[in-house]
Amino acid sequence: METIYIEKPSELKRNIALLEKSLGISINLKGKLATISGLGLEEYEAHIILEAISFGFSVKKSLLLLNPEFQFKRIKIKDFTRKKNLREVKSRIIGTKGKTLRTIENISNSYLILNEKNNEIGLITHADSVEETTTAIQNLIRGTKQSNVYHFLEKQNKAKKQGFDINKK
């Protein structure tokens, strides 16, 4: 039995039956506290999925984490910049009308959310792309130009495709 604090429980309330069925666990929600009860592995998976939901991801995107090839990761902005004014850094990450965030999502085939309250970026992505996407976001936080970050991700994707093609021959 484990208890998790859910920042916005409305998403969880709407989908509690789906989550219980998909995860094979029982969820008891009291205010902003969700108590999970089930078997060890199911409880562990539920903890990760509920953590992603609490971060701000939709239930549908969070359920991708049931697949062992997907991972959820948090990146703290303060760990990669010395700037005191984080608004500027967050603005660079979001970009004009969210363009930078969407472009990184599209190139890396990931889902990203910027949690402005906690100054963190949440990431749900394929396990093969976790390191590249994390590095790209860290570089963006440190001040690298957006175009250089996009180029880095595209280069990584191209290298992966070429590596897979070589192995097939």
Residue by residue, pLDDT tens for the chain (169 residues) are 788 888 778 888 888 889 888 888 888 888 888 888 888 888 888 889 999 998 989 999 999 999 999 999 999 999 988 888 788 888 888 988 989 999 999 999 999 999 888 899 999 999 888 999 999 999 999 988 999 999 999 998 888 888 754 444 4
Residues 97 and 55 reside in one and the same domain: no
Rounded to a whole number of angstroms, the CA Rg of the chain reads: 18
pLDDT value of position 120? 93
pLDDT value of position 164? 59
pTM, two decimals, is: 0.84
Give me the domain span that covers residue 134: 70-168
The pair phi, psi for residue 29, each rounded to 5°, is -110, 120
Residues 108 and 134 reside in one and the same domain: yes
Residues 92 and 27 reside in one and the same domain: no
CATH code at position 83: 3.30.1370.10
pLDDT value of position 168? 45
Query: What's the Cα-to-Cα distance from 7 to each of 25, 55, 108, 130, 167, rounded to whole Å?
Result: 21, 7, 27, 25, 45
Residues 51 and 102 reside in one and the same domain: no
